[in-house]
Amino acid sequence: MDGNWMVLLQRQNQLGKVIETNNATAQYGLMLSEQDAELILEERGHALREQRRVEFGEGIAPKIIHQFCDSDFIDQNNYVDTIIRLQEIFYLYKNEMDDELTDDELLHLMKEQFEEICFGDLDYLEGTCLNLFSQAVRAGYQGYQRSEGHGEYAKFDEVQRWDYDLYYKALKELFWG
């Protein structure tokens, strides 16, 4: 079947929806110009083609922006690049998780890991955190449905994140010799 109709389907999305997000992000010092929004939508097209997906409605970009705009690791300098990269990661893991997670569940999961585990490192988010979680989803894990994607990663984390004993030991050595 001629794939051009998929391009038509995606054209329903509007640039205005992305620019509208400025109303909500301004309080965090984040703004998108029209060129920025066009770039985000252009890159969205590339990511969708690469992941062989088709998007409809207002698309995922405004949702990503609303979810991540209060992040400690995003500022005006890396705003556009981060949103573009998050879009790519989002579509990749929609496929990797066989569309089992809804958009919101996946976004909650991404945001939480981005903030608390990856500390803004997108490569770590893509290559390690979401990769581990997608394996669990493909193996049949469905716990995210109850939690809506919140507080899920710790169940599958292979790294000990915070060792209190070690912390107190180091603290003692530092202050009490």
Binding site for other proteins (CB under 8 A): 1-6, 8-9, 12, 48, 52-60, 63, 91, 94-95, 99, 102-105
Q: Which is nearer to other proteins, 74 or 106 (CB)?
A: 106
What minimum distance in Å lies between the beta carbon of 41 and other proteins? 14
Q: Which is nearer to other proteins, 37 or 118 (CB)?
A: 37
Residues in Cβ contact with 63 at an 8 Å cutoff, skipping those fewer than 6 apart: 103, 104, 107
What minimum distance in Å lies between the beta carbon of 47 and other proteins? 10
b/e map of 70-86 (b: 16 or more CB within 10 Å)?
A: ebeebeeeebbebbbbb
What minimum distance in Å lies between the beta carbon of 140 and other proteins? 19
Determine the Cα–Cα distance for residues 55 and 40; give it in Å rounded to an integer.
14
Class of residue 42 by CB neighbours under 10 A (exposed 0-12, middle 13-18, buried 19+): exposed
Q: Which is nearer to other proteins, 5 or 168 (CB)?
A: 5
Q: Positive or negative, the Cα torsion across 53, 57, 58, 60?
A: negative
What minimum distance in Å lies between the beta carbon of 56 and other proteins? 4
Q: Which is nearer to other proteins, 5 or 119 (CB)?
A: 5
Q: Which is nearer to other proteins, 99 or 163 (CB)?
A: 99
The token pair at 84 is 């573009």
What minimum distance in Å lies between the beta carbon of 146 and other proteins? 15
Q: Which is nearer to other proteins, 42 or 104 (CB)?
A: 104
Q: Report the SS3 class of residue 164.
A: helix
What minimum distance in Å lies between the beta carbon of 105 and other proteins? 7
Q: Please, how many CA atoms are within 13 Å of residue 133, restricted to the half-sphere of its CB?
A: 30
DSSP 51: T
